[in-house]
Copies of this chain bind each other. A is one copy, B any other.
Amino acid sequence: MKQINASIITIGDELLIGQTIDTNSAFIAQELNKIGVWVKRRVAVGDVFEDIWQALDEESRHAEIIIITGGLGPTADDITKPLLCKYFGGKLVVNEKVLAHVKYLFEKVFRRPGPILETNLKQAEVPDICTVLFNPRGTAPGMWFEAPSKSPPKGETSEDSLNTKKIFVSLPGVPHEMKGLMINEVIPRLLKEFTMPAIVHRTAFTAGQGESMIADMLKDFEASLPAHIKLAYLPNYGMVKLRLTATGDKKEKVEKELAPYFENLQTLVKQYLVSNEDEGLESVIGKLLKAKNKTVGTAESCTGGYIAHLITSIPGSSVYYKGSVVSYSNDVKENILGVQPDTIEMKGAVSEETVREMLKGAIKNLDVDYALATSGIMGPDGGTEEKPVGTVWIAAGNKVKIVSLKLNLRFDRQRNIAMTAGAALNFLRKFILENE
């Protein structure tokens, strides 16, 4: 079966000056991948007519499906819609359904006083040669264009570009609007348009060991994989994700074929294995606590609420997570967590003794079965010769036992926070498993 390739074009100067991090492409890629479309390339270009036009030309040589996001807002720096109209040879006409929706949003939802702005009404104009993808979440509709394949430039040949219809889809750049249109409009239409091969991914993740050591453990395994099964390593803050990808005709068949390889992979890295799903430590811990019907709380100094944020990012976490005392100041450590002023005075806020007392206070005052505590120096300032930036103490425990761990990190502030959170969650996970 022929592989269907896609290319994602994101439009906007903000992407090119580094002001915005592109999260839309990752979402679009995930959704296309699920239905068996291989995203071959992602390209970002600025709000420049020639650059957008050239990207449309080039990407249609690489792929059958071209998804475009951004450039559809109401402001003057958005030039995409008239460009698409010209590119596909149509003219702009008012779409009555979109117009009624724009009016409804401004009058009933945004409740903005005064008449609707002309720039907003213009969002109801669409090229007459596209299929309009209705966007209930916002004012800018999606647009679906079909075009016959263009021949490649002289001197180049491209298998993709021969005799294949090309689909171009333009979506707004606002993430939740783009997501709604992808799921409700684009994916169902693509499934009707193409017969897709199956792509199956299985991901496991390990913690506490580096990428090269994990790769060494899997050297023979990797060499033994058939050509249509690929192994990838994705290191991330002290963890390594291991992803097996297989392609074939039928999803069920590919899944069945992949299963023993994935089992084998898990066995080989058993001592560092955290999960055989593509999830985070916070999700693994959540499942563990739910299964045991236990609760957890946190006492965070240096991580400043980041561990609480990770845990509460999981829907339904209120079942096992009672809360956190973010004790950024020593006052809060003493007054709410009951750390002894003497301990802080004698040993310092960043010390094994302090973090153990923070943990005891969290168990007691948050009234939880398990707790996790952190205290450290995240930088760039605050380090001393004895305790340089990157010095971190972590404690995990329950009512009867406390264990502690020291880290010596050497990164920037954001990464030190993320590394500490990851190491702390893994330390808690191991404590829960070993102290049932």
Contacts and interface: CB of A to CB of B under 8 A. Distances in A.
Interface string A294-315: 0001101000111111011101
A250 to B, nearest CB: 20
Contacts of A222: 76
Nearest to A45: B41
B335 A20 contact: no
B413 A315 contact: yes
Interface stretch (A23-31, A88-96, A263-271): A23-31
Contacts of A347: none
Contacts of A27: 18
A176 B44 CA distance: 23
Contacts of A235: 73, 174
Interface stretch (A126-134, A225-233, A394-402, A428-436): A225-233
Contact of A29 (B16, B38, B47, B415): B16
Bin chain A's interface residue count. Answer: 35 or more
Interface in A84-102: none
B278 A19 contact: yes
30 contacts: A15-B29, A17-B39, A17-B201, A18-B30, A19-B203, A20-B26, A22-B25, A40-B45, A40-B46, A42-B43, A58-B58, A77-B231, A117-B213, A119-B216, A300-B305, A304-B311, A304-B317, A305-B308, A308-B326, A315-B380, A316-B381, A321-B328, A322-B329, A323-B325, A323-B327, A323-B332, A323-B336, A325-B336, A332-B366, A336-B336
Closest 5 CB pairs of A and B: A304-B312, A305-B308, A305-B305, A18-B29, A18-B30
